[in-house]
Amino acid sequence: MILIFISLCISADVVAQQEMTREERIKVLQLLKDNDMELEKGTQQSTSGNRHENIERLELPPLSVFLDAVTENATVKRAQSQVEQVKNEYRLQKRDWWDYFRLNGNYAYGRYNVLNDNSTSFEDWYQSTTASSRHTFNVGASVSVSLSDLFNRPLRLKKYRYDIEQLQYSQEEVMEDRKLKVLNAYNAVTEQLATIKAKAESAALYNAQMKISENNFINGTIDIISLSLERSRRSTAVVQYEQARVSLHNSIILLEMLTNVKIIKDK
Per-residue pLDDT of the chain (267 residues; tens, 9 = 90+): 433 333 433 343 444 444 567 676 676 667 666 666 665 565 555 444 444 556 777 888 898 998 888 888 888 888 889 889 988 988 888 888 787 788 888 888 877 666 666 666 556 665 666 767 777 878 888 777 777 777 888 888 889 899 999 999 998 898 999 999 999 999 999 999 888 888 888 888 888 887 887 787 777 777 878 877 888 888 888 888 888 889 999 999 999 998 888 888 765
Residue 122 lies inside a defined structural domain of this protein: no
CB neighbours (10 Å) of residue 229?
12
H/E/C letters for each residue in 162-199?
Answer: HHHHHHHHHHHHHHHHHHHHHHHHHHHHHHHHHHHHHH
Domain assignment of residue 264, yes or no: no
Question: Strand 125-143 to strand 101-119: parallel, antiparallel, or no bridges (unpaired)?
Answer: antiparallel
Kindly state whether residue 120 falls inside one of the protein's structural domains: no
Cβ burial, residue 234 (10 Å; 0-12/13-18/19+):
buried
Rounded to whole angstroms, the Cα distance separating 160 from 90 reads 6
* Domain membership flag for residue 128: no
26 in a domain, yes or no?
no
User: Is 157 among the domain residues?
Assistant: yes
Domain that holds residue 246: 33-46+54-99+149-259
Distance CA 251, CA 191 (A): 10
State residue 35's pLDDT score: 61
Q: Quick one: pLDDT at residue 47? A: 45
Query: Does some domain include residue 93?
Result: yes
Give me the CATH number covering residue 83: 1.20.1600.10
Domain count, the chain: 1
Q: Is there a domain that residue 39 lies in?
A: yes
- Helix (H) or strand (E) holding 137, with range, is strand 125-143
CA distances from 248 to 1, 62, 167, 202 (A): 55, 17, 37, 17
